[in-house]
Structure 1
């Protein structure tokens, strides 16, 4: 793997700018290609800042584990112990661990801008009383952005600092991650990438501050690889083995086979790995670590929707080239009219609507942002994607077979009578309409 591979793959997926890093056999390898923006182009290098999206969740979870190591937080204590102001629709309670492994029962999140002030996270948590609850606590994993924003509020209340100040004090400063930022004023004075959607600059650059704990970090490929190397070390008092212990199983998921504390866990070619992906408005990131091999790979790209398959191609090439591991997609089942008819129909959640159509020779999946959400948005939202061909897999699972999300997996949920009542996509639940 070299810069030529990065360049060829970026051209194949029409990515304006990308960077990748590998740590293997005690050495770092950096790769970069393209430009930061099609409107104001600067060359991408190892110090260019990219938004990490949900990879930020690994920083939030690790900060919680630092507080656990200091005896200030317990993973098995109720979140209400640290956030007494929290109110939810059914008055439920869940532990810090259940928050960090997405089994709290909270839906994905809210789309309310609570401003850029130091009270933004507090105000976001106040709004969780309106958040939909998708299941009983501990019943099943369902990916929740607001859940990790709530974890950020735990950090604020325990430390007495803003979330961003606490992350700096607990992690960034001790680790020397001087090119990792939340503050736009810090980002704009450095070289940074902007997102793109189908060749056009995506605006806004990032959304509101309250989403920082779940997705607000901007960092360079060099700093992100340093973050990965930290998680290959002894933890400096943080119990990394606890973070890597399976706490909730996943079905039909590209995210992994199980969730630990802040990490998705999976087996690649028989070897245990941990990782997390992230997306923001036209920017995509991927981080994968194989602890037993002392191996890590990171990849970032600034174009949607094909930033996802670009990062997957880079990660798979790095795994094969440096670690000798092959990451394969499962084989789909042949088309069956009866099975197709059973899953075809409409599904939705608070943010999106999904339609699965049976064409008579195959299945097609389409996901659209709800029209009322688009109408109410104060800024442009990403464009909807064209429908994707899909195929069924064994055990009520499925896989996208073409397009930007090729290889994306999910599964169907049945009720006690065996009737399909929901579908999961990217860790998010859609109920049948």
Structure 2
């Protein structure tokens, strides 16, 4: 089926600005918006495989999950797999099958630290209403906070995790009640000089939750409901879900310290639980569909279905990197930015999102107007069963690979979408060039981290290889000669050239090698030409059969 818009389904044509304010979610087959459905189906199968008994280390990667993918306002994939309730205890004893509860598309999840986004939006609403200034000290609004070296900490520093506060306190264990626990946060001294470091801290958002309550005169859960979720129609989202929805809520962890048993319907985070289930850092429950609405509202510039919850300027600020002094810890006002470890192939400098300890991730890609939501109960029955980052990456990357990259020239190009710890090569036959030098020209579309390099190598014996320096031109390309090509987020073809001495039995190969972490969309090669003084030794457009390919395959999109 033809694409509804010439730019739909395109990974190599970045969009500028916000989506039209009129964009609302509708379900549609991926083909309708120009997507290749196969990467999505592969990702569905992979999620299901990860729920199997022996997926990792003799247990599932997660008990169950619900994934949702959105492109251009169209929900192109929703996949529910595994169980919302599966285990009886923390040792992994399975319940009888009749007592297990399967995942369904409307399963409600403990969103854990994704809650921080709701608190941040509530703060930004106060900023745009003139009640809060970002560069003002927090103590202006919470005088009790301005003690023990925190007098200069600003609202912005709390939102960007540059306040210097430590990651967390054991509030539930070391203080007896809510009042004393909040006071402990207000009293704590910074671990580092404010503004000097990036340290992800729950205390930052707990403080902002208190700030919201102080300035509005309402509890944080009331503010989130009245100012965010109710206006957006997110009817399954909020703190402390009612007992009437328990049958749809995914279980989390079996906790013995504190002695809570199998946690279901109450927030998993012990500190949020000790604060009555309502805190700035954790406590929100939601569904994939509700989170998609929030995501689309942000991509629309703060509005959805005729209701505005944020101004466009506020959304821009939330998607702007304030942490330029802390490379790798890119952060807007509340949103994390440019985090390949869970954004996968959707990663870029403006890709925004957040994860939750319970097994949730939320990714917004303004460049393709896409949303990747993966909700799992990975701590069910135990947090010790490990990380699900591999699934977070794979889910987002599947959507990126479903989008087209059109050839730089002709009808096809060589593409490699390697997993971790792999190598792909594209190798010429031995060449016999004329003259003193050989020129190599090709186009490259790279979406890979620097630890997963694409290199050009030469050899005269097919055994010993030398790296050939490359010169690339294009958006995001390195300015100087480079031994390898890498980068995420630029989404454009680079024109690449190299010169090397002419020798007999010259063989060239392009090698793409990945390490054990963080695989992005992959790399593409097109219009490969090897030229000597007599003309073309290799013309990849006319003779793709001249290459020996391992891990590369010809693609047309």
Match status 1:4 vs 2:45: yes
Match status 1:128 vs 2:185: yes
Please say if residues 293 and 323 of structure 1, whose CA atoms lie closer than 8 Å, have aligned partners that are also in contact. Answer: no
1:20 matched to which residue of 2? 67
1:44 matched to which residue of 2? 103
CA shift for structure 1 position 64? 0.8
Which of 344, 347, 350 is equivalent to 1:272? 350
Which of 331, 335, 340 is equivalent to 1:263? 335
| Matched residue SS, 1:259 | coil
Please say if residues 159 and 205 of structure 2, whose CA atoms lie closer than 8 Å, have aligned partners that are also in contact. Answer: yes
Cα distance, 1:186–1:69 mapped onto 2, change above 3 Å: farther
- The worse-fitting range, judged by mean Cα deviation, of 33-42 and 148-157 is 33-42
Please say if residues 179 and 219 of structure 1, whose CA atoms lie closer than 8 Å, have aligned partners that are also in contact. Answer: yes
Cα distance, 1:21–1:332 mapped onto 2, change above 3 Å: closer
Cα distance, 1:269–1:98 mapped onto 2, change above 3 Å: closer
Match status 1:216 vs 2:283: yes
Structure 1 residues 24-173: aligned runs within 5 Å: 24-28=71-75, 29-39=77-87, 40-113=99-172, 120=178, 123-128=180-185, 131-173=188-230
- The worse-fitting range, judged by mean Cα deviation, of 311-320 and 289-298 is 311-320
Q: Distance in 2 between matches of 1:329 and 1:186?
A: 45
Aligned length: 328
| Matched residue SS, 2:100 | coil
Q: Distance in 2 between matches of 1:88 and 1:327?
A: 46
- The worse-fitting range, judged by mean Cα deviation, of 78-87 and 128-137 is 128-137
1:331 matched to which residue of 2? 451
Q: C-alpha deviations, 1:199-233, integer Å up to 9, x for none?
A: xx984451225363112111111111111111111
Q: Distance in 1 between matches of 2:199 and 2:101?
A: 39
Match status 1:240 vs 2:328: no
1:192 matched to which residue of 2? 249
Q: Distance in 1 between matches of 2:376 and 2:325?
A: 27
Q: Distance in 2 between matches of 1:191 and 1:183?
A: 14
Q: Distance in 1 between matches of 2:450 and 2:354?
A: 20
Please say if residues 319 and 326 of structure 1, whose CA atoms lie closer than 8 Å, have aligned partners that are also in contact. Answer: no
CA shift for structure 1 position 74? 1.6
| Matched residue SS, 2:145 | coil
Q: Distance in 2 between matches of 1:271 and 1:84?
A: 36
Q: Distance in 2 between matches of 1:165 and 1:129?
A: 22
**Structure 2 length as normaliser, TM-score?**
0.54
RMSD of aligned alpha carbons: 3.2
| Matched residue SS, 2:351 | strand
2:399 matched to which residue of 1? 318
Cα distance, 1:9–1:313 mapped onto 2, change above 3 Å: farther
Match status 1:298 vs 2:373: yes
| Matched residue SS, 2:280 | helix
| Matched residue SS, 1:94 | coil
Q: Distance in 2 between matches of 1:326 and 1:176?
A: 40
Q: C-alpha deviations, 1:152-179, integer Å up to 9, x for none?
A: 0011001101111111111011111110
Please say if residues 85 and 102 of structure 2, whose CA atoms lie closer than 8 Å, have aligned partners that are also in contact. Answer: no
Please say if residues 337 and 349 of structure 2, whose CA atoms lie closer than 8 Å, have aligned partners that are also in contact. Answer: no
Point out the structure with max Rg over C-alpha.
Answer: 2
Cα distance, 1:269–1:262 mapped onto 2, change above 3 Å: closer
CA shift for structure 1 position 270? 5.6
**Structure 1 length as normaliser, TM-score?**
0.68
Q: Which runs of 5+ in 1 are unaligned?
A: 334-400, 409-433
Q: Distance in 1 between matches of 2:187 and 2:236?
A: 36
Q: Distance in 1 between matches of 2:181 and 2:244?
A: 24
